[in-house]
Structure 1
Amino acid sequence: MRRIPPSPRESAATGVKTFAAASIGNLLEIYDFIAYGIFAVPISRTFFATHSEFVSLLLTFITFAVGFVARPLGALVLGLYADRAGRRRALSLTLLLMAAGTLVPAVCPPYAAIGIAAPVIVACGRLLQGFSAGGEIGGAVALLVENAPESRKGFASSFQQMSQGGGAMLAGLVGLMLTHLFTDAQITGGAWRLAFVFGLLIGPVGWYVRRSIPETAAFERASLQRKADLWPQLVLYRWRLLGGIGILVFWTIATYVSNYFTTYAVRELHLSLFDSYLGQLGYGITMVIACPLIGALSDRIGVRKPMLVGALATAVAAYPLFWFLAQHPNRFTLIAVQMVISILLACYAACASNMLASFFPVQFRATGVGFSYATGVTIFGGLTPLLVTSLIAVTGDKLVIGYYLAAAALVSCIPVVLSPRTHTSSQPQAPVALTE
């Protein structure tokens, strides 16, 4: 029986649901990771009690990095599931796992109550969070680009980064709300857990939305073809996977430097928690506004130009921005610097998802995008707070973070320039030879 095409109203409703379904998991993922970062100080005192505040904070960031170790495995397992069983099923599963990981810091007893079991439980929660996050990006990007017309793929894929900006904005709002309702002593004493309780409310809504969307037509067509085993595909697309990891260097380091600003503002600039959350809020709002605009622009001029502008401008401006902030450490310069960095990051990141998706065919897209992203984030993102904290402690120079960000921007220009000039086709692609 011939399938009846959907009406314009039904297509519009499906499009809105698709954007919501793809975005809500990314929002929860980044919200959880940012919440862990912006409440790093009270978390360190709750679960990693030592005689040194610096050591406790390092242990907190090491546990933060542990969550990233599971990302590549999650990308392979859940990405393969998305390429075999469908985007909708895989994304519903990742959201449930993500919510379970968010639950752990909300309810885990402190070190004072259960001793060494507390940091162990928190580490397990971060591993679960990382595993689910590893499978999130590939499925979400595939869902966005495969449901968009060819002329709107840049705009559609930009919602992946926009939703991360939304997560940052939400985390900043929750931080502001908690600092308004509670004193610093109350937040340190346990009120910070409310941030993770609030994040849990996103899970059921997201799961319902994801279960209600149809599977992408591109996946349904591709599913009729014989599925290749995982290892031959990893070998086949090895150079594109490597290029994808290179694209992630600046993308992920800039993202987690922006998230680290809350700790940086309190420890190095001696600003209040309230001021640091204002900066996080400014970053999130800027990303939410800028990403769709830049994504729409990339549909006209291509993805390379905005990405190179964002990366090269960051390489030039990173150190001066941090120098200016150090000379004028107040809430207004903090907000201004974070907003400038977020605009430059948006130029790059709003287009990066579309470029990554164009590297891989439908049959391997969720796995390829997810594995590139997860590996890049694991290597460069998870270690960023730990490396920056250590570099500042070793060098005694709080501006070293500017050099670190500038170097990342320059490195990522290489894979952007060398990336294959392909478009994000939603049609199944025929197998190609193992030698590219």
Structure 2
Amino acid sequence: MHNNATGKLTNLSGAELRRIVVAIVIGNGFVAYDFTVYSFSAVLIGNLFFPSGNPASSLLLSLATFGAGFVMRPLGAIVIGHIADSHGRKAGMAVSLTLMTLGTWLIACLPTYASIGPAAAVLMVLARLMQGLATGGEIGPAAASLMESVAYRHRCFMVSWRGASQGAAAFAAALVTASTTALLSPAALQSWGWRIPFVLGGLIGPVGWYLRRRMPAVPRQPGGRLNPGRLFVEHTRPLVCGILMTAATSVGIYVTVFYMPSYLVRTLHRPPAISLLTACLSGLVIFVVTPLMGRAADRFASRKTLQSLFFVASMAAAWPVFWMLTHGVGDLAALVIITAYVALAVNNDGANSVLMMEAFPPHRRAAGLSVIYGIGVVVFGGFSPFFVTWLINVTGNPMIPAWYLMAATGLTLVALNRFPEQAPAEGAAYASQPPA
């Protein structure tokens, strides 16, 4: 199999490719699960760690803490991305898994505000910062490992499994949260039940670490010591355009999947079980649809073609979707509408990530992609639940999420058009066997 990093052939069997996919899907899914399960428990965590006489204020503080985890993503992107580029992809992913496991166990074992006062809120923020550091450094090494394992014509499909793992993580996080909500009494949930999703996440960490230790190693990428300033000077256009391109995908997943349960309960006054079921189905749709879209994207000469079509379609659909949700459709219809929109709007991870990584030399791929997502998700995604909630409170307009999504998607389309697309290396499109 052709390896663009070295120009040599890397012979990986179908079994080895499957081990790479399984190790990265489980590890990346664990990181995404632990980082996002917080959002499904935002209301409870707000009451337990940020008590206030106003429930809306408690929720806003909880969502701000959720967003605080994104502040550390750029630092994690630079530090862990450099480790992955200079010491191997597996080394970078081992660091991110370790940090995420520590942060998750800290949340799972943390005493509440009622027990230790303001220290509880401070420690919760510290745990989220640790998780943010881990998440910021996970995306680049995971995606680069997948892309460098196969030939050019299979890259979008292979890399799409990283995005699919986020769907699986959202499904698992929502399912566990919905189950604890349905099976436990409100008193039990408030007392100890909210910890169950975090404990389960902490137990998955060692499994992911073990699988990644056993996966075949992708060759190290030779290169000098990473200087963040040099990275921006030498790759200004792909970095700036790439950051802007994250607007639609990051706002899409954080608004339509992770924020949606709070929106349905607090703004539209729907039952909590139904709202979390929506997140479960949305995660499942992402897990199934993303690889299908990755395989389809590999059939086009340009990485941009299919992305552009779906971004235009999702921008056009945003307003009708939220108009129907806010005008009294039944719970079953709401489930169908939301999951259909998620399938349309949050499915481009394979082609999107590959387009970005191909704009960087091999020894800058992991750091480059990590920095793009680290900064882009901070700017556009991480605080979007907070801003949407605040804007709804200020304006009283429940259609705010639709306008937010449309603006983000429009910005992404402009950046996508300006992003520098690289032609494939000679012979790369005809190399080797497809992934098993």
Q: What is the match of residue 411 of structure 2?
A: 411
Cα pair distance change 1:425/1:194, threshold 3 Å: farther
Q: What is the match of residue 281 of structure 1?
A: 280
Q: Any unmatched runs of 5+ in structure 2?
A: 1-8, 428-436
Q: What is the match of residue 431 of structure 2?
A: none
Q: What is the match of residue 348 of structure 2?
A: 348
The question of whether the paired residues in 1 share the 8 Å contact of 2:321 and 2:338 is answered with no
The question of whether the paired residues in 2 share the 8 Å contact of 1:244 and 1:372 is answered with yes
Q: What is the match of residue 102 of structure 2?
A: 100
Q: What is the match of residue 4 of structure 2?
A: none
Q: What is the match of residue 249 of structure 1?
A: 247
Q: RMSD of the alignment, in Å?
A: 1.9
Q: What is the match of residue 210 of structure 1?
A: 212
CA distance in 1 between counterparts of 2:426 and 2:164 reads 22
CA distance in 2 between counterparts of 1:60 and 1:333 reads 30
Q: Kindly state the Cα deviation for residue 228 of structure 1 after the two structures are TM-superposed.
A: 5.9
AA matched with 1:159: W
Cα pair distance change 1:239/1:187, threshold 3 Å: same
Q: What is the match of residue 173 of structure 2?
A: 171
Cα pair distance change 1:229/1:261, threshold 3 Å: closer
Which deviates more, 341-350 or 359-368?
Answer: 341-350
CA distance in 2 between counterparts of 1:150 and 1:122 reads 43
Q: What is the match of residue 136 of structure 2?
A: 134
Q: Kindly state the Cα deviation for residue 364 of structure 1 after the two structures are TM-superposed.
A: 0.4
CA distance in 2 between counterparts of 1:111 and 1:74 reads 29
Say which SS state the counterpart of residue 300 (structure 1) adopts: coil
CA distance in 2 between counterparts of 1:229 and 1:264 reads 42
Q: Is structure 2 residue 334 aligned with structure 1 residue 334?
A: yes
The question of whether the paired residues in 1 share the 8 Å contact of 2:286 and 2:347 is answered with no
Q: Kindly state the Cα deviation for residue 191 of structure 1 after the two structures are TM-superposed.
A: 0.5
Work out which of the residue numbers 221, 231, 234 in structure 2 matches 1:233.
231
Q: Kindly state the Cα deviation for residue 226 of structure 1 after the two structures are TM-superposed.
A: 4.8
Q: What is the match of residue 88 of structure 1?
A: 90
Say which SS state the counterpart of residue 173 (structure 2) adopts: helix
Cα pair distance change 1:327/1:146, threshold 3 Å: same
The question of whether the paired residues in 2 share the 8 Å contact of 1:354 and 1:424 is answered with no
The question of whether the paired residues in 1 share the 8 Å contact of 2:35 and 2:132 is answered with no
Cα pair distance change 1:419/1:209, threshold 3 Å: same
Q: What is the match of residue 35 of structure 1?
A: 37
CA distance in 2 between counterparts of 1:59 and 1:6 reads 50
Q: Is structure 2 residue 297 aligned with structure 1 residue 298?
A: yes
The question of whether the paired residues in 2 share the 8 Å contact of 1:80 and 1:367 is answered with yes
The question of whether the paired residues in 2 share the 8 Å contact of 1:280 and 1:338 is answered with no
Cα pair distance change 1:297/1:56, threshold 3 Å: same
After superposition, give the CA deviation of every residue in 1:77-121 in whole Å (9 maximum; x if it has no partner): 111111111101110111011111111221100100000000000
Say which SS state the counterpart of residue 148 (structure 1) adopts: coil
Q: Kindly state the Cα deviation for residue 29 of structure 1 after the two structures are TM-superposed.
A: 2.4
Q: What is the match of residue 263 of structure 1?
A: 262
AA matched with 1:132: A
Q: Kindly state the Cα deviation for residue 424 of structure 1 after the two structures are TM-superposed.
A: 6.6
Which deviates more, 12-21 or 111-120?
Answer: 12-21
Q: Kindly state the Cα deviation for residue 349 of structure 1 after the two structures are TM-superposed.
A: 2.9
TM-score (norm 2): 0.92
Cα pair distance change 1:6/1:90, threshold 3 Å: closer
Q: Kindly state the Cα deviation for residue 25 of structure 1 after the two structures are TM-superposed.
A: 2.8
The question of whether the paired residues in 2 share the 8 Å contact of 1:271 and 1:330 is answered with no
Work out which of the residue numbers 16, 33, 46 in structure 2 matches 1:44.
46
Q: Kindly state the Cα deviation for residue 417 of structure 1 after the two structures are TM-superposed.
A: 1.4
Q: Kindly state the Cα deviation for residue 379 of structure 1 after the two structures are TM-superposed.
A: 0.9
AA matched with 1:405: L
CA distance in 2 between counterparts of 1:425 and 1:126 reads 41
Say which SS state the counterpart of residue 216 (structure 1) adopts: coil
Q: Any unmatched runs of 5+ in structure 1?
A: 428-436
TM-score (norm 1): 0.92
Q: Kindly state the Cα deviation for residue 11 of structure 1 after the two structures are TM-superposed.
A: 1.4
Q: Kindly state the Cα deviation for residue 159 of structure 1 after the two structures are TM-superposed.
A: 0.8
CA distance in 1 between counterparts of 2:364 and 2:48 reads 42
CA distance in 1 between counterparts of 2:327 and 2:94 reads 47
